[in-house]
Amino acid sequence: MKGRKLLMIPGPIEFEPEVLRAMSAVTTSHVAPSFINSFGNALDLMQKVWLAPNGQPFVVAGSGTLAMDMAVANLVETGDNVLVVSTGYFGKRYQDILERYQTNVTFLDAPVGEIPSLESIENALKSKAYKLVTMTHVDTSTGVLVRPKEIAALAKKYNALSILDGVCSVAGEEIKQEEWGIDVVLTASQKAVGVPPGLALLVASSKAMQTWEHRKTLVPNYYADWKNWLPIMKAYQGRKPSYFGTPPVNLIMALETSLKIIHEEGIAIRVQKHQQLANAFREAITALGLNILPSKKEDAANTLTAIYYPSGVEAGEFLKQLSKLDVIVAGGLLPELKTKYFRVGHMGAVTSIDIISTLSAIEFALVKCGFTFESGIGLSTFQKILNKEIE
C-alpha cells in the first residue's frame, strides 16, 4: 500500500514529483547565483503562462488572500468606487477587503449557481465612475465560471481597471491577460499552478502600474506595497540579487519547476486537458443522478466541480465513506448550503486515473449511504465521454 490518501480538493492539490523534489532540495541562500537564476526564470515564465509578455509579475510569500489584498491595496484610495462581481464566498471576501480601504463598494451578485448578467454589470458601470472592477474567475465555493474577457471589455469601455481573481483558474482555465485587457490577474501557488501553499502570485498590466505610480496617497499596507516589492522583482528578472523580505527559497524553486512543466506542455494544451477531464467528470456525475451547483453546464468550472448530495444522503457519512477508500474531497463552503453539497478539485497534475479512482470512491460512498443507481454508470460514462473528447 502506498500509505497516503488521494487529495481531490480544490487546493492544495496533487503535485508533480519534480515539484516535490524541488521542495526537498537543500535550501540555498536567497542571493546565491543558482537561486537568483531560478527566481528570475520563474518571473519570466509567469509572463508566458499568464500570456502577459509586458506585464509586471510579483511573487510574494503569502496566500491567495494576500494576492487579492495586494492587487487592490496598490490601486484604490479612500473614496474610490469599486464594483465587485460576485459568484460566491470569495466575491464577498473581496468586498470585505475593499471596505478595509474605505472604498465605496457596489456588490453585484446573482442567485447561487448563477452569474450576474453582462447587462447588469454594464448598468452598474453606467451609474457612476468606477476606479476598478473585480471578478472571481472560478469561485472555489460554487464552481461557477465567469467570462472575464467580456467583463474586462466592459470595464475598459467605462475607463475602469479590471482585476481577475484567478486563484482557482490560472493555468487551468483560458486566460489571455494582455489580449483581453485584464489589468491584474492573481492566483495562489497551491491551485492549478501546481506548487505547495505559500506563494501569492500576480501579474499587473502597464496601465495598473501607471495607476499605482500616480496615486496621491501612500499604500496603506506596508507588506503589500509594490514600492517595496517592485525593485525586488526587477532585480531578480535582471538576474541580480536584492532584498526586502527573505523569499521562500524552496517554494520559488518549486514554482520555477512547475511553470517549466506548464510552459513546455503549452498553456493552451493544458487548459484543453482540464476542459476534457472536467466535461467527462460532470457527465459521469449526471449519469449517477447527481446535480451540480452551477445552474448551467456552460457556467461550470473546469478546475473543480461542486455537487449536491442526493436526497437521503448525509454529508458526514458520505465523506466518512469516501475517506475509507483514501480519497479526500471538500465539503461545502457557502454557509447557507454547507451540508448540502461537496466539492471535487480536478486541476494541475490531476490525471484520468485520479478521477476514475475518485468516481469509484463516490459510487462506493453513495451505495453505503443507501442511494441507488446503476452500478458502474459513473465510471463507464466518464471513460466513454473522455474517449470522445480526446479522439
CATH of the domain at 286: 3.90.1150.10
State whether 241 and 278 are in the same domain: no
Q: For position 1, what pLDDT does the model report?
A: 42
Q: For position 389, what pLDDT does the model report?
A: 74
Q: For position 118, what pLDDT does the model report?
A: 98
How are the residues of the chain apportioned to helix, strand and coil, as percentages rounded to the nearest 5? 45, 15, 40
State whether 256 and 272 are in the same domain: no
Residue 278: domain span = 6-10+266-389
State whether 257 and 161 are in the same domain: yes
Tell me the pLDDT tens digit for each residue of 324-367. Answer: 999 999 999 999 999 999 999 999 999 999 999 999 999 999 99
In a domain, 191, yes or no: yes
Q: For position 2, what pLDDT does the model report?
A: 60
Answer with the one of 201, 236, 265 that is the final residue of a domain.
265
Taking alpha carbons only, the member of 345, 355, 375 closest to residue 10 is 345
Q: Which amino acid is at 211?
A: T
Does residue 24 have a pLDDT over 90? Answer: yes
In a domain, 1, yes or no: no
State whether 289 and 198 are in the same domain: no
State whether 250 and 278 are in the same domain: no
In a domain, 319, yes or no: yes
- 115, 151 in Cβ contact below 8 A? no
DSSP string, 158-212: TT-EEEEE-TTTTTTS---HHHHT-SEEEEETTSTT---S-EEEEEE-HHHHHHH
Answer with the one of 265, 296, 329 that is the final residue of a domain.
265
In a domain, 166, yes or no: yes
State whether 336 and 197 are in the same domain: no
The total number of structural domains in the chain stands at 2
User: Using CB atoms within 10 A of its CB, is residue 218 exposed (0-12), middle (13-18) or buried (19+)?
Assistant: exposed
* CA-atom Rg of the chain in angstroms: 21
State whether 194 and 332 are in the same domain: no
DSSP 292: B
State whether 152 and 300 are in the same domain: no
Tell me the pLDDT tens digit for each residue of 143-165. Answer: 999 999 999 999 999 999 999 99
What pTM was computed for the model?
0.97
Tell me the pLDDT tens digit for each residue of 244-296. Answer: 999 999 999 999 999 999 999 999 999 999 999 999 999 999 999 999 999 99
State whether 62 and 176 are in the same domain: yes
State whether 209 and 278 are in the same domain: no
Answer with the one of 200, 235, 265 that is the final residue of a domain.
265
- 90, 165 in Cβ contact below 8 A? yes
State whether 102 and 222 are in the same domain: yes
